[in-house]
Structure 1
Amino acid sequence: MATPLESLVQEAKNGGLTVSFSPDIRVNADEFVYMERDCTAFLDEIISMQTQAQAIASREKWGLGESTEGLSSAATLVGWFRGKAGKTGAATDSANNVADILQQHYDIVVDIRDIHREIAKRYMAQDEEFAARYNELSANVPPSAIGSTEGKA
């Protein structure tokens, strides 16, 4: 299955992706390294959320009366919650669930990361100063704020 930005990734790999900058904008290695770092951190967060969604979808007991005879609305509600968390194999499953939507986000972040990687490779092949700075930063990149528990309540 094609990803949302697959054609742009391929265009970048082929060297056909072009961008015009104003003279006020300077391309620097820092932004490429930090983009890579933050994409990786964001992908880790999405995986964590997907794991949580799957745990919700597969939860056995909900405590909503779903096993009470005659209380079919509770079982219906539990089925709806499971289906919104992720596909469960029920006839009512749809792509409008947390797990599938998170996968779409994951695919987009991978494409964004890959586009930036390809562009960085091209800059490194053409600019020794850029390449040196990129390699230096990559070896000592500070942690991303994405997924950090600092400042969270």
Structure 2
Amino acid sequence: MSNSAEALTASVLAGALMAVPVGRWLDRHGGGALMTTGSITATVLLIAWSQVQTIGQLYAVMIGIGITGAMVLYEPAFAVIVSWFTPRPTLHPRLAAPVTTAKASAPLAAAVVRNHGGYPLVLAAVTSACLLASAGMLAMRGGVTPSGGKPGEQAS
């Protein structure tokens, strides 16, 4: 197995080990601070990844990416979104927007990599992460959900 594959494995394991503590934090405190911190940290780690020169640095960055992934990727984001809204018979537009955006941006990302290499795409991802972290911080400040309840409360 190559060093990069081993580093990726370490990243996945770190994220898996953090899943339970992240879930507990979300249940007790909501997602605002956790997801904002994770987004900012992930942005810094992406920049650090572009500067890696040793295998030790690669492992450190990849483990950090795994930990921040547990803080911001699908599972915590879905838990936060679900806690915000009462069950409805139709798909809420806020759930459809991320899926649509991801599917629409994939061909654009492929074209950028094909024509300009991966570096502009990394810069775009870092810029997007900064903007999304800022938007997330504004949207989730105060720990109150859009339905008016506190994090961890059941919707009535």
TM-score (ref. length: structure 1): 0.39
Higher helix share: 2
Q: Choose 1 or 2 for highest CA Rg.
A: 1
